[in-house]
Structure 1
Amino acid sequence: MDDNLRTINQARGFFQTIRDQMGTHVCNTCKLFLTSRVKLASLYNRRIFLLGCRSNRVFPNHIINNIKQILSLQIDEHPYRSNVDLIMKTFRKSVLNVEIKITAWKIRQFEGRIQRLRDQLTTTIDNSTYETLVDIANTRFRREFSNIKSKNVNKLKTLKNQQIPPLPITTCDKYIANYTNITISNEVKTILGLGPKFGLPPKHIPMETIIKDIESFIKVQPITEEEKNTYRSKSVNIVSNYKKRERHTRRNNTMDKYLKDTTKFIREHQDITISRADKGGATVLMYKEEYQSGVEKMLSDENTYERLQSDPTPKIQRHTNKYIKTLKDENYITETEYKHLIRHNSIAPKLYCLRKVHKNTLSLRPIVSCIKSPTYKT
C-alpha cells in the first residue's frame, strides 16, 4: 500500500509540474496516455479471461444472468427441454465469441491511440520528462494487470466449479502402476485408469472413413448382392442416426478437460511409455529406456530367440498366397473367401511386451502382433 501511495503522489507532483511548465493541454495529453495504458491492462486481462472461459467451456455470470428471463423454459417439464438447452448453449457461445471479438477490437483501438499519443508527446515534451511519464505508466500498467489477473483467475476457478459437473468416475490408484518418478494428477489418473477398452465419445465422426470401412467388410462377405445391399442400408442408417443424435447431445465438459490434461501430460513426457499391464486391467507407466533395455535383455537369450539374416516376410507371403490359390483352384474355398485370405504388401509381425505388475522386479511378457502379416487372416 505504501508503494501505491508513493506512486500516486509521485504522479500527482509530476503532472502538476507539467501543468505549470507546459500548460493544461500537454498535461491532459500525458494523463490520457497514462489512463489509456491502465485501460489497456484491463482489456488484456479481459481477453485472457474470456478466452479461458471459452477453452474451459464455461460462461461468465454476466452472460448467464442476462438471459435468465427464459430460464423457465429450461425448468418446466416439457418434451422440448433438450431443444431449449441446445438453444441456450449455442446462444451463450455466440455471445461469448462476439465479446471476445469486441475486446480484441478495443485492444487494437487503444494500442493505436497510445501509439498516436506517444508520437505526439515525443515532439511536445523533452526526453527526460517523457521517460518519467513512461516509467509511471508502466508501473501503473503492471500493478493494474496483476490485480485484475488475480481476480480473474479466482473468478474462472469459481465458474469451472459451478458449471463443470464432476465426473461419475472415481480415481482408483489400483488401476495405475507408475514405475516412474513423475507425479500424476488426479485428472490424468482418471483417464489412464479407464484402460484401453473404455470407449471415449469422438468429437468428430469420420463418416466417409466409416462408410468406406463398412463397404470393404461387406464386399468380401460370402452372401448375395441383395443381402449386401440390405446391410449397407442398415449400416448407413445407424451411422446417420448416431450423428444426428450427437448434435443434440450435451458433451461432458469435465471429460473433455480431463482428456486435454491427459494429452498434455503425454506430450510433455516423451520419455515414458504407457501400456496395459499383463494382468488385472491396470495401466502401466514406465520409462522408455527401462522398457527398451528389458526387451533387449529378453531377446538376447540365444536359447529362446534366433537372429535372422534377412526378412522372410516376402517369401512367406508368396508361399501363403500360392497355397491359398491352390485351395481356390481345387474348389476348397470360394472366390470371395480367396479374396478375403489373399495378402499383398504384408509386413513382418511386431513384438511388444506387457509388464507383469504382480512381480517386484522388471518382468515382461512378450506379445507378437500378426496384424497385416502374411498369415494374418489364415
Structure 2
Amino acid sequence: MGFMEDIKHRYGMDILRNFKQWANQVNKRASLENHRKFLLRCRKQRILPSHITRYSKCISGLILSNSPFANHCYSALTQFQFRVLNIEICFYHWKLRQIKHNIEIIKSKLRNEIAEDILFSFSVRQNKFYNFKFHQIRSKQMTKFNNLMNVQVPSNLKSTPDKWIMNFSDLSIPNNVKCFLSLGHQFNLPYTNSIPVMNIIVDCERVISKHDFENRDLVRARVVNTIMNFLNSNQYSRSYSPSLCRDLRDTRAFLSNNKDHIVVLRADKGNVTVVMNRDEYSKKCTELLDDSQTYEKLESDPTVRVQNKNNRFVKILLNKDLVPEPVAKKLTSNDGIFPKMYFLPKIHKTGIPMRPILSFVGSPIYELSKFIADLLKPIFIKDEHYVRNSFDFFNSTNKTRLPPNYVLLSLDVVSLYTNTPTDLALQIIEENWNMVSDPSFDSETFKLIYNFLITSSYFCFNGQFYRQIFGFGMGNCVSQICCDIVMVKLQDYCLSRLPFSVPIFKRYVDDIFTSVPVNTEQLVLDTFNSFHPKLQFTLELESKSALNFLDMRVERTDDNVLYVDWYHKPTFSGRYIGFHSHHAMIHKVNIIRNLKFRALNLSDKRYHEKNLKKIRSILLNNSCPAHLINKILGESLKPSLPQIISSEGPSNTIL
C-alpha cells in the first residue's frame, strides 16, 4: 500500500486532500522559483525574454518608419518591455509568498490531525521532490536562457568577415578581440553607468564660445534641454549583449598589455581596421617626415608665437576696415591648439605606404585660413570639366558615345598638396585678383597673410614638432582652394597643347578621367608632366574596355558607348554601422536607403539587379534583419537628383 493510500485508509479523504494540496504547492513552487530566477538573470544581463518581445512587434512599423518619431518609439518600446519584465518579477515574488503561506496553513492543519513522525517524513519527501523538480526545470530554463543569450549576440560578433580587419603585426590576436575590433570605430555601445555630463558641457561650451554673443544663451538652452531629455528618457541604459561587454573588457586588456607592441588604425580607404607593429608604423611615418625638402624639425612648440602673429594680422585687417569687428573677433585666436599629424595605411598599395592626415581644426590660424579661402573661392572656375561629385560624373558620362579608336585613361597627381608650388598659386591669384569676393581687399596685405599662413603649416607627431617648408599643408583651408586654382590652370595649359581633340575630360580635385586616341597615352602623360617639375602624374589605362574612377566603373561597349556602374575597390570591406550598434534607428534605416540610392543612381539600369543583390549581401553581413532589407529595397526610389540623361539610347554622342 502506498503512502497516499495509507493516509486515506487511516485518516480519511479530507486529510488526503491536504497532503495532495501540499505536494501540488511544492511542485508549483519549484516551477515558479525557476521562472523567477530566469527573469532575474534576464534583467541582470539586460536581455528580454521572447514572450515579452513576441507581443510587442505590432509597433515595428512605427520603428522602421522614416519619421522623426522612430527613435522615440524604439526607446519607449524598450522602456515598456523592461517595465513589463520588472512587473513580472514582482508578480512571481508575490506568487511564491502566497505558495509558502498556503503550505504553512496546510502544515498547521495537519499537525492537529496526524502524528508528528508522519508529518516529518512527508516533509522530507517533499523537500527531496522539490530539489529534484527544481533542478529538472532549471536545466531546461538554463538551456532557454543560453539560447536567448546567443540570439542577443550580434551575428557579426560570432564570425569576422575577412575584409573587416587585417593583422600585419607579429602578434596573434584572440578571436573574441579580433571580432570586437572588426566592428570598427563607429560601432557604439550604450552607457550603462553614469553619463559624463560635465565633459559634455565643457565641450559644448567651447563650441558655444565661437558663436555670436546674442545667440549663445539660446544655444546653451537647447544643449541643456537635449541633455536633460536624454537623461530622463533612459536611452543610455538600453540593453546590449553581455558577451559584447566581456569582449570589450578583453579587448581593453589586450590593447593595454600590448600598447608598446601594436597600434590599431583605420585604413586609408575601404573602412578596414588595421593592426600593425608599432615600430613598423613609427618607422614608416618617420621616413616620410625625414624628407628635408618638405619638412623641417622645430625645437619647440610655436603655437603661442603663431597665435600672437595671427592676432596681429587680424588687428591690421580691422584697422584697415577690411573686416567688421564681429568678424575680427571670430578670427582672433585665444586658446588655439597645435595641429596633430597622424597616418593611415594604404592597404590597397604595395608595401602599405602611409597617408599623412593633419587634424587642423582648432589651430591658431584655422579661422583666418577659412576667411582667406572664402576670399579666393570665386577665382576657382567650375567649368564643364569639373565634377562636383559622383552623381555629377554619372549624369555627364553615362551613355556617352566616343569616336572610333579612342581609349579611356585616368591621371592622378602624386601628393598634390605637398607638391603644389605655393609661389605658382600666388602668381595665378595675382593674375586674377579682380575675381576675388572682395576686390577692394588690399592685395599687399593679402600677400603678407598668405605667406604667414603658408609658413605656419606646423604640426606635432609623437611629441616632435615639424614645419612644412614646401607645398601646402594638409588641413589648412587655404590649401584646398589654392590647389584647385592651380589644377584649373594646369588643365587649360595641357589641353591646349594636345595635338588632338579630347571628347571627354572630367576632373575631380586631382583625379582626371579622359579619353584619347589609341597609342597617344605617353604623349598625354608627358604633356601633363611638363607643366611643372614638381607636379607629376601617374597614368592608368583601361583594362578589358573598362576603367575605374571614383566609386564607379566605366565600361566601353564594342560600339564605343560608355556605361557607368557602381563600383568598390577590392580592398572595400563592406562594413557599415552594425545594426546592433547603439545608434538611432533612423540612422540604420537611412544606411540601407542611401546604399540603395547610390547603387541605383550611380549605375545604368542594366546593372541595377546585380547591385541590389550586392547591397543585400553587404547588409546581411552587418546584421541587418532580412525583413527590413526586403522592405526598404522593395520601396520605390524617390528621385532627388535632376535626371539629365535619357532612358533610351546614348545621351551624349561625340563625333
Q: 1:67 to 1:343 in 2, by over 3 A?
A: closer
Matched, 1:370 2:357: no
Equivalent-residue separation in structure 1 for 2:204 and 2:284 (angstroms): 40
8 A contact 2:78–2:238 mirrored in 1: no
State the 1:353 CA deviation: 1.4
Paired residue total: 255
Equivalent-residue separation in structure 1 for 2:294 and 2:41 (angstroms): 71
* AA of the residue aligned to 2:274: V
8 A contact 2:336–2:363 mirrored in 1: yes
8 A contact 1:73–1:81 mirrored in 2: no
Equivalent-residue separation in structure 2 for 1:263 and 1:318 (angstroms): 41
State the 1:291 CA deviation: 1.1
State the 1:322 CA deviation: 0.7
Q: Which has the higher helix share?
A: 1
* AA of the residue aligned to 1:290: E
Q: Which residue of 2 aligns with 1:64?
A: 38
8 A contact 1:351–1:369 mirrored in 2: yes
Equivalent-residue separation in structure 1 for 2:81 and 2:212 (angstroms): 48
Equivalent-residue separation in structure 1 for 2:174 and 2:164 (angstroms): 14
8 A contact 2:165–2:181 mirrored in 1: yes
Percent identity between matched residues is 30
Q: What do residues 142-165 of structure 1 show as CA deviations (whole Å, max 9, x unaligned)?
A: xxxxxxxxxxxxx99995554351
State the 1:315 CA deviation: 2.6
Equivalent position to 1:274, from 236, 244, 264? 264
Equivalent position to 1:356, from 330, 337, 346? 346
Q: 1:355 to 1:248 in 2, by over 3 A?
A: closer
Question: SS where residue 213 of structure 1 aligns?
Answer: helix
Equivalent-residue separation in structure 1 for 2:334 and 2:220 (angstroms): 26
Over aligned residue pairs, what C-alpha RMSD do you find?
4.0
Q: Which residue of 1 aligns with 2:254?
A: 265
Question: SS where residue 377 of structure 1 aligns?
Answer: helix
Q: 1:331 to 1:221 in 2, by over 3 A?
A: farther
Unaligned runs of 5+ in 2: 1-33, 43-48, 59-75, 90-140, 369-655
Equivalent-residue separation in structure 2 for 1:355 and 1:330 (angstroms): 47
Equivalent-residue separation in structure 1 for 2:50 and 2:289 (angstroms): 68
Give the alignment's TM-score, normalised by structure 1: 0.55
* AA of the residue aligned to 1:246: N
Matched, 1:253 2:241: yes
8 A contact 1:349–1:371 mirrored in 2: yes
Q: Which residue of 1 aligns with 2:231?
A: 243
Matched, 1:295 2:285: yes
State the 1:320 CA deviation: 0.7
Equivalent-residue separation in structure 2 for 1:197 and 1:279 (angstroms): 15
Q: What do residues 93-118 of structure 1 show as CA deviations (whole Å, max 9, x unaligned)?
A: xxxxxxxxxxxxxxxxxxxxxxxxxx
State the 1:335 CA deviation: 4.5
Give the alignment's TM-score, normalised by structure 2: 0.34
State the 1:213 CA deviation: 3.1
Equivalent-residue separation in structure 2 for 1:167 and 1:180 (angstroms): 27
Q: What do residues 264-314 of structure 1 show as CA deviations (whole Å, max 9, x unaligned)?
A: 221122210111111111111111111112222222332333334555433
State the 1:186 CA deviation: 4.0
8 A contact 1:86–1:248 mirrored in 2: no
Question: SS where residue 330 of structure 2 aligns?
Answer: helix
* AA of the residue aligned to 1:320: N
Q: Which residue of 2 aligns with 1:28?
A: none
Q: Which residue of 2 aligns with 1:193?
A: 182
Q: 1:91 to 1:303 in 2, by over 3 A?
A: farther
Question: SS where residue 184 of structure 2 aligns?
Answer: coil
Unaligned runs of 5+ in 1: 1-59, 93-154
8 A contact 1:316–1:374 mirrored in 2: yes
8 A contact 2:191–2:237 mirrored in 1: no
Equivalent-residue separation in structure 1 for 2:282 and 2:330 (angstroms): 36
8 A contact 2:167–2:274 mirrored in 1: yes
Question: SS where residue 154 of structure 2 aligns?
Answer: coil
State the 1:215 CA deviation: 3.7
Q: Which residue of 2 aligns with 1:166?
A: 153
Equivalent-residue separation in structure 1 for 2:204 and 2:252 (angstroms): 30
Q: Which residue of 1 aligns with 2:294?
A: 304
Question: SS where residue 360 of structure 1 aligns?
Answer: coil
State the 1:89 CA deviation: 5.8
Equivalent-residue separation in structure 2 for 1:286 and 1:234 (angstroms): 43
Q: Which residue of 2 aligns with 1:53?
A: none
Equivalent-residue separation in structure 1 for 2:55 and 2:145 (angstroms): 25
Q: 1:230 to 1:180 in 2, by over 3 A?
A: same
Q: 1:357 to 1:61 in 2, by over 3 A?
A: farther
Bigger Rg over Cα: 2
Show the 5 A alignment for 1:69-88.
74=52, 82-83=79-80, 85-86=82-83, 88=85
8 A contact 1:350–1:369 mirrored in 2: yes
* AA of the residue aligned to 1:325: K
**Residues 280-289 or 339-348, more deviating:** 339-348
Q: 1:198 to 1:66 in 2, by over 3 A?
A: closer
Q: What do residues 121-152 of structure 1 show as CA deviations (whole Å, max 9, x unaligned)?
A: xxxxxxxxxxxxxxxxxxxxxxxxxxxxxxxx
Question: SS where residue 219 of structure 2 aligns?
Answer: helix
State the 1:83 CA deviation: 4.2
Q: Which has the higher strand share?
A: 2
Q: What do residues 15-60 of structure 1 show as CA deviations (whole Å, max 9, x unaligned)?
A: xxxxxxxxxxxxxxxxxxxxxxxxxxxxxxxxxxxxxxxxxxxxx9
Q: 1:83 to 1:219 in 2, by over 3 A?
A: same
Equivalent-residue separation in structure 2 for 1:371 and 1:184 (angstroms): 35
**Residues 311-320 or 333-342, more deviating:** 333-342
Equivalent-residue separation in structure 2 for 1:304 and 1:80 (angstroms): 58
Show the 5 A alignment for 1:1-378.
63-64=37-38, 74=52, 82-83=79-80, 85-86=82-83, 88=85, 162-163=148-149, 165-169=152-156, 171-203=160-192, 204-222=194-212, 225=214, 227-246=215-234, 249-254=237-242, 255-270=244-259, 271-308=261-298, 311-344=301-334, 346-378=336-368
